[in-house]
């Protein structure tokens, strides 16, 4: 019922920048929280950043000061601006959202995941 689509991944050199975008579509009433997670080969999926509907942000210590998350609630989109990229940032980045929808006459809030976009940082 709800779809999240990421875009903007690619290959960059160490120290470079990249901007990821996430677009949510469907019968959406609200999105209380949107965020980004990442998973490198052989590692657990980890939090990168989140942003609430009131614009409160939260960042992993490993990206704090380098990455910036933003959202446009009217468009149901979120972006992750990544600067000063390092090889250890290489991973598949996943968009995540808590989405409230109207199912019949009931409001339901469910977690959704995008399919992921590859970010590779070379040295």
d(CA 6, CA 28): 17
pLDDT at 73 over 90: no
d(CA 70, CA 49): 10
pLDDT, residue 74, reads 86
pLDDT class of 75 with cuts at 50, 70, 90? confident
pLDDT digits (tens, 9 = 90+) for 76-98: 999 999 999 999 999 999 999 99
78-89 burial by CB neighbour count: b if 16+ within 10 A, else e?
Answer: bbbebeebeeeb
d(CA 32, CA 43): 28
Phi, psi of 89, rounded to the nearest 5 degrees: -80, -10
Percent of the chain with pLDDT over 70: 100
pLDDT class of 1 with cuts at 50, 70, 90? confident
pLDDT, residue 50, reads 98
Average pLDDT over every residue of 56-63: 98
């Amino acid at each position: 019922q709800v779809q999240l689509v990421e875009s903007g991944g690619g290959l960059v050199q160490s120290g470079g920048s990249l901007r990821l975008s996430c677009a949510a579509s469907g019968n959406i009433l609200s999105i209380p929280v949107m965020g980004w997670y990442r998973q490198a080969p052989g590692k657990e999926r980890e939090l990168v950043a989140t942003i609430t509907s009131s614009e409160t942000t939260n960042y992993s210590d490993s990206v704090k000061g380098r990455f910036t998350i933003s959202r446009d609630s009217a468009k149901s989109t979120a972006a992750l601006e990544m600067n000063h990229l390092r090889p250890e940032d290489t991973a598949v980045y996943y968009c995540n959202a808590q989405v409230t929808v109207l199912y019949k006459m009931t409001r339901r809030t469910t977690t959704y995941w995008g399919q992921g976009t590859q970010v590779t940082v070379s040295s």
